[in-house]
Amino acid sequence: MNDNILRIAIQKSGRLSEDSLKLIKECGIRFDNGAGKLKTDATNFPAEILFLRDDDIPGYVEDGVAHLGIVGENVSEESCKDVDTVHKLGFSKCRLSIGVLREAEYHGVQDLQGKSIATTYPRLLEQYLKSHDVTADIHEISGSVEIAPSIGLADAVCDIVSSGSTLLSNGLKEVETIFRSEAVMIASKHLSPVQQDLLDQLLFRIKSVQVAKN
Ligand code: PRT
Ligand code: ZN
């Protein structure tokens, strides 16, 4: 493998994609971003861009297949991969929250004791419940989490919330926020000296872009 370039993994298509591409471009890195491409070379910086599903990015970075990645902190933390979070990027802000049916009585987290909770984030949820001495039955499901209480699959949900309208339109109310997230840059723990230097250059450019915006 070439130790003299940085391989940067970003989400191929989704909520992080546009801002990730924009950030890289604002850092002055140019590349041909032809439709459908899974990998592209930067033309004026020793870097390659990989386009992946966001859930795969922490694993690629842990393995050193990618040296850097841009993902939601929620995905990175849930993955438990051994990577460094090197910078918060300020976009794709959201929260991981617990919701229950609007008509359900809810006084506090203890009310979740013995209940079933559907989520795509079982580890973050488990940590949160444990820290509050609550034991619940965690149902891991991969999508359409918010529908679970209304079809009797679970008593509560734990999912990403942004505006809150998805919870609302599924008859749910937000009762606990367990994690606040934004897009972060993660890095492999096994960078060569050249790659570390390229990362430092990139972080300097990212911070300059952020300062210019504020
Ligand atoms: O295909 P791939 O696996 O790459 O993408 P994905 O579908 O898993 O992820 P994607 O693109 O939906 O989200 C990528 C990241 O964006 C997430 O991991 C979060 O860090 C961040 N993000 C920010 C969000 C939201 N806002 C968001 N609103 N991710 C998901 N949502 C969903 C949420 O799951 C829920 O269904 O939007 C709905 C809630 O939105 P509101 O506005 O109705 O509250
Ligand atoms: Zn995903």
Instruction: Encode pLDDT of 126-148 as tens digits.
Output: 999 999 999 999 999 999 999 99
Which amino acid, 134? V
Do 139 and 76 fall within a single domain? no
Do 56 and 124 fall within a single domain? no
* Contacting residues for 163 by C-beta, under 8 A, at least 6 apart: none
The CA R_g of the chain, rounded to the nearest whole Å, is 19
Do 106 and 145 fall within a single domain? yes
Do 86 and 10 fall within a single domain? yes
Do 32 and 55 fall within a single domain? yes
Do 13 and 56 fall within a single domain? yes
Domain hosting 116: range is 94-181
Mean pLDDT for 8-33 is 95
Side-chain half-sphere of 22: how many Cα atoms within 13 Å?
11
- What are the helix (H) ranges across the chain? 17-26, 57-63, 73-79, 122-131, 165-169, 193-213
Q: Please tell me the distance between residue 61's alpha carbon and the centre of ligand 2 in angstroms.
A: 16
Task: Categorize the per-residue pLDDT at 33 as very low, low, confident or very high, splitting at 50, 70 and 90.
Answer: confident
In a domain, 134, yes or no: yes
Q: Which atom of ligand 1 is nearest to the CA of 92?
A: 23
Do 24 and 124 fall within a single domain? no
Task: Categorize the per-residue pLDDT at 173 as very low, low, confident or very high, splitting at 50, 70 and 90.
Answer: very high
Cα angle 121, 126, 127; round to 5: 105
Average pLDDT score, the chain = 96
Instruction: Encode pLDDT of 181-190 as tens digits.
Output: 999 999 999 9
Q: CATH number of the domain that 113 lies in?
A: 3.40.190.10
Cα angle 11, 1, 89; round to 5: 30
In a domain, 1, yes or no: no
Total domains present in the chain:
2
Q: Which atom of ligand 1 is nearest to the CA of 159?
A: 34
Mean pLDDT for 82-111 is 98
Instruction: State pTM to two decimals.
Output: 0.96
